Amino acid sequence: MPKKDVLTIALPKGRLLREAVEIFACAGIDAGAVLKNDRRLIFENPKEAVRFMVVRAQDVPAYVEYGAADLGIAGKDVLIEQGKDLYEPLDMGIGKCRMVVAEPKALIAGDNPRRWTHVRVATKYPNITTSFFLEKGVQVEIIKLYGSIELAPLLGLCERIVDLVQTGETLRTNGLSEVETIMDVTSRLVCNRASLKTKPKRLKTLIEALRKTVAKRK
């Protein structure tokens, strides 16, 4: 098959990788090689004319938007935060979590979010956080961090954080409690818009196979 007909798919490193591989396998695309070598970043499947690339979850939208990949899997949180121009045909139903506002338990008793006028918030998601508070009429000062967001209130950097949680155990362990939920988050299949025109048949076939697989898993 000509190189131009090969589909390139960007998969996120980390906890979602195995689930993504399982979904593609059920849809008839073998991506198992990506689980056998965590140092390689590109994996070829000549038989099915598919190439997989494994990148940081935050980088998937960029690879897809600029055409380095035809398809990718990215969290809804990342997609909204980055605002890339991508076609989003399918909720993959994996990576379920929620984005919340949290604060130290000691603040909870005397705090009322409806009375907030100005807050300082540490987060990995400055755009989502800013929009959320501005819509509530609350002035927000953002401190952007890249990891261990729960440390910020413990060390006096701020009183509140915005972050993703699954069970909430990490918050509880660090003396924090959820105050408000901003959004529920799952991972989505995203597609390069130009690829939809240059490889329409292959993309449509694969997207439909993935859609059926995801529906069965639910």
Q: What is the pLDDT of residues 53-90, one digit of tens each?
A: 999 999 999 999 999 999 999 999 999 999 999 999 99
Q: Domain containing 35 — which CATH number? A: 3.40.190.10
Confidence of residue 109 (pLDDT cuts 50, 70, 90): confident
pLDDT at 2 over 60: no
Rounded mean pLDDT, 123-146 = 96
Element spanning 106, H or E: helix 105-108
Confidence of residue 8 (pLDDT cuts 50, 70, 90): very high
Whether residues 101 and 170 fall in one domain: yes
Neighbours of 42 (CB within 10 A): 11
Residue 83's pLDDT is 96
Whether residues 79 and 103 fall in one domain: no
Whether residues 109 and 174 fall in one domain: yes
Whether residues 179 and 190 fall in one domain: no
Q: How many domains does the chain have?
A: 2
Q: What is the pLDDT of residues 12-42, one digit of tens each?
A: 999 899 999 999 999 999 999 999 877 889 9
Contact yes or no for 150/174 (Cβ under 8 A)? yes
pLDDT at 3 over 70: no
What range defines the domain where residue 111 resides? 97-184
d(Cα 75, Cα 10) in Å, to the nearest integer?
13
Whether residues 153 and 135 fall in one domain: yes
Whether residues 103 and 180 fall in one domain: yes
Q: What is the DSSP letter of 137?
A: T
Whether residues 8 and 88 fall in one domain: yes
d(Cα 206, Cα 28) in Å, to the nearest integer?
9
- pTM equals 0.91
Whether residues 79 and 32 fall in one domain: yes
Whether residues 91 and 190 fall in one domain: yes
Whether residues 104 and 164 fall in one domain: yes
Whether residues 191 and 148 fall in one domain: no
Whether residues 162 and 106 fall in one domain: yes
